[in-house]
């Protein structure tokens, strides 16, 4: 029974990370209809950036983490400014191809700087994060994932629901022409959604790096996991992304724990296909409001 709970908690922690990074992906898609194929590379970049700050620059952990978040935010902003903005008005497929190109570029850059070997962070998580009841034992990385997941979720939930800037962002996703007619800075909204997406991706990258170690290939392939998560949750639903993430996270850990670790990466996709056969718009995709 305790094994069950162990897996449950691990699955939820992992699921939050998947869900959060999928949320970034969905945000870009919702505001500008762009599928970002460089998402996995953004996750990996976050992890390596943190590594560099901790090992090379020797910054204290908390500061290194904040600098990583700020750096990722700025990077997302710049990606939109430098690479995507010139393509505004061009067919969407060019923009999507551009993100494929960005993915290759970032990956090459990381391989050049850090190589393809597995690296690890120094052990820095405080002991009190290790939760222990009976024989149930939650490693500190997972409790950190849980705490960060819930925090980010709350912050972004409140931001989108109540802050004017969050409302403007949703208005662009809803009806771009109308938003433009009211003077909403649509391009600023695109840039902001890239910035936030890169920030949550980088944050997930750091925590996944703590859990699994840091490797360019492994981390950027997690970007692929965004697809089942997002399709499960519906491409256009932020809360769906979180729930999709939790489902994939739980499926993975339970498959790995009870069936066979080698099936971990297969089962989620099988379930994905089954669900898509029943609900093609995902479990939580927006049901089009027909009236109007």
Q: Which is nearer to other proteins, 178 or 224 (CB)?
A: 178
What's the rounded Cα separation, in Å, for the pair 122 and 136?
Answer: 25
Place of tokens 């790995």: 256
Applying CB under 8 A, which of residues 167, 259, 266, 270 lies at the interface with other proteins?
167
Place of tokens 């409790």: 143
* Burial label, 288 (beta-carbon count in 10 A; 0-12, 13-18, 19+): exposed
Q: How far is the CB of 291 from other proteins (least distance, A)?
A: 6
Is 286 near other proteins (CB under 8 A)?
yes
* Dihedral pair phi/psi, residue 138, rounded to 5°: -100, 120
For the chain, how far is it from start to end, CA to CA, in angstroms? 52
CB 282 within 8 A of CB 235: yes
How many residues bind other proteins, per CB under 8 A?
A: 22
Spell out, one character per residue from 26 to 45, where the chain touches other proteins: x when CB under 8 A holds, - when not: --------------------
- Per CB under 8 A, the segment of 44-52, 116-124, 140-148, 167-175 that binds other proteins is 167-175
What's the rounded Cα separation, in Å, for the pair 153 and 156?
Answer: 5
Q: How far is the CB of 52 from other proteins (least distance, A)?
A: 36
Q: Which is nearer to other proteins, 44 or 179 (CB)?
A: 179
Place of tokens 């109007």: 292
What's the rounded Cα separation, in Å, for the pair 28 and 192?
Answer: 9
Q: Helix 39-51 to helix 186-212 angle, to the nearest 10 degrees?
A: 60
Q: Helix 140-162 to helix 2-32 angle, to the nearest 10 degrees?
A: 30
Q: How far is the CB of 271 from other proteins (least distance, A)?
A: 28
Q: How far is the CB of 176 from other proteins (least distance, A)?
A: 8
Q: 90 to 129, contacts with other proteins by CB under 8 A? A: none
Q: Which is nearer to other proteins, 27 or 248 (CB)?
A: 27
Q: Which is nearer to other proteins, 28 or 110 (CB)?
A: 28
Spell out, one character per residue from 168 to 207, where the chain touches other proteins: x when CB under 8 A holds, - when not: x-xx--xx-xxxxxxxxx----------------------
Applying CB under 8 A, which of residues 1, 58, 62, 89 lies at the interface with other proteins?
89
Q: Which is nearer to other proteins, 174 or 260 (CB)?
A: 174
| Torsion angle of C-alpha atoms 37, 38, 40, 42, degrees rounded to 10 | -150
Q: How far is the CB of 182 from other proteins (least distance, A)?
A: 5
Q: How far is the CB of 209 from other proteins (least distance, A)?
A: 36
* Dihedral pair phi/psi, residue 152, rounded to 5°: -60, -40
Degrees, nearest 5: CA angle 5-9-10: 115
Residues that bind other proteins (CB under 8 A): 89, 164-165, 167-168, 170-171, 174-175, 177-185, 286, 289, 291-292
């Amino acid at each position: 029974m305790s094994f069950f709970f162990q897996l449950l908690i691990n699955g939820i922690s992992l699921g939050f990370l998947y869900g959060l990074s999928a949320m970034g992906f969905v945000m870009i898609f919702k505001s500008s209809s762009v599928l970002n194929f460089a998402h996995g590379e953004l996750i990996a970049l976050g992890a390596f950036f943190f590594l560099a700050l901790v090992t090379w620059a020797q910054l204290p952990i908390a500061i290194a983490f904040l600098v990583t978040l700020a750096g990722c935010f700025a990077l997302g902003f710049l990606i939109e400014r430098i690479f995507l903005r010139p393509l505004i008005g061009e067919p969407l497929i060019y923009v999507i191809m551009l993100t494929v190109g960005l993915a290759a570029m970032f990956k090459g850059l990381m391989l050049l700087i850090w190589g393809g070997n597995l690296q690890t962070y120094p052990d820095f998580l405080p002991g009190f994060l290790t939760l222990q009841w009976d024989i149930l034992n939650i490693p500190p990385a997972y409790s950190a994932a849980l705490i960060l997941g819930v925090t980010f979720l709350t912050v972004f939930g409140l931001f989108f629901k109540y802050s004017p800037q969050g409302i403007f962002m949703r208005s662009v996703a809803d009806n771009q022409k109308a938003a433009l007619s009211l003077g909403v800075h649509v391009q600023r909204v695109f840039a902001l959604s890239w910035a936030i997406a890169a920030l949550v991706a980088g944050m997930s990258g750091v925590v996944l790096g703590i859990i699994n170690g840091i490797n360019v290939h492994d981390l950027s392939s997690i970007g692929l996991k965004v697809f089942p998560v997002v399709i499960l949750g519906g491409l256009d639903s932020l809360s769906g992304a979180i729930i999709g993430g939790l489902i994939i996270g739980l499926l993975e850990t339970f498959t790995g724990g009870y069936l066979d670790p080698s099936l971990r990466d297969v089962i989620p996709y099988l379930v994905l296909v089954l669900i898509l056969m029943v609900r093609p718009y995902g479990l939580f995709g927006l049901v089009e409001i027909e009236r109007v």
